[in-house]
Amino acid sequence: MDICWLCVILAGIAVYLLTQFIRFIFADADLTLLWAHKELSCQLAALGARLVLSARRENELERVKRSSLKAEDILVLPLDLLDRASHQEKTATALKHFGDIDVLINNGGRTQRSLCIEADVDVYQALMELNYLGTVSVTKQVLPHMIRRGSGIIATVSSVAGFVGVPLATGYAASKHAVQGFFNSLRTELADYPNITISTICPGPVISTIVQNAFTEELGKPVDTAGDQTHKMSTERCVHLTLIGLANHVKEMWIAEQPFLLFCYLWQYTPTLAWYLTNVLGKKRVQNFKAGLDADSAYFSKPKVKTT
């Protein structure tokens, strides 16, 4: 009888592990985030969000506001991450308008498409000023308000490049590694404030305009072509998963389709194997870049030659 029960228990464990393995194969986010999915509706309903939209292009912010069903709950507040002297005033304006800041989402930044050997140091400085110091500056303005209240969420869009080596993006990866280090350290400093959530969001390839706006080897030099973006995760899916994570106060989210999600796990748990595979794919990526092919879509399918 005892042996029968043991067989049942082992069979149950085997079925559970097989189920999770199948889920992982078809996953586009880490398992912690996927397990939190059921809480989305009730958490978002409880938020009753009012928005402060900030970026440099005010006309784009106004367009987003006009497309909203509740435009009266949106404040357009133009902000330049590089103008750190203005961040205190901008924060004060938001607080005066709404009274509180419950959630800060840091989502500003630019990526990079250039080889280290060819890139000017000015490009690296610009990446750190924008992606890292600009984010830190805004966070430092909002954080004291959350500490006084004893609650809040600071969510920062980092990248898989925040903990993975990425060829053609040495400066971008460095800036995102810095972001990860800052917020991981800040999270421990706020241990006495358990109701303040520090969440870092690490997407893999996602459809966006980030490639079109990437830094190249020289400041002011645009990317030749962004290439085909259709193979990447949709923006809607990435945002949906991000909201699930924020609603459940997930500290770090990996959002990527396979096989990129697998690489996240390999870098986290088997770095030696991850280095080997990254070197293989990274070498191919650099070769494609030098040959004028699209760097992003050339990993697992035959790349299309760039046209002029």
DSSP 8-state code for residue 117: G
269's tokens: 């748990």
Q: How far apart are CA 260 and CA 244, in angstroms?
A: 20
282: Cβ contacts below 8 Å, ≥ 6 apart: 165, 166, 167
135: Cβ contacts below 8 Å, ≥ 6 apart: 81, 106, 108, 109, 156, 179
Contacts within 8 Å (CB) and 24+ apart, 188-192: 190/147
Which candidate, 94, 97, 95, 124, places its Cα nearest to that of 112? 124
143's tokens: 């954080």
104: which strand partners?
Answer: 154
Angle CA(56)–CA(58)–CA(64) in degrees, nearest 5? Answer: 115
Angle CA(35)–CA(36)–CA(42) in degrees, nearest 5? Answer: 145
Q: How far apart are CA 197 and CA 152, in angstroms?
A: 6
Residue 67's CB: how many other CB atoms inside 10 A? Answer: 8
Decide if 111 contacts 211 (C-beta within 8 A). yes
Active-site residue identified among 16, 124, 132, 172: 172
Handedness of CA 74, 78, 79, 80 (dihedral sign): positive
16 is catalytic: no
183: which strand partners?
Answer: none
Active-site residue set? 172
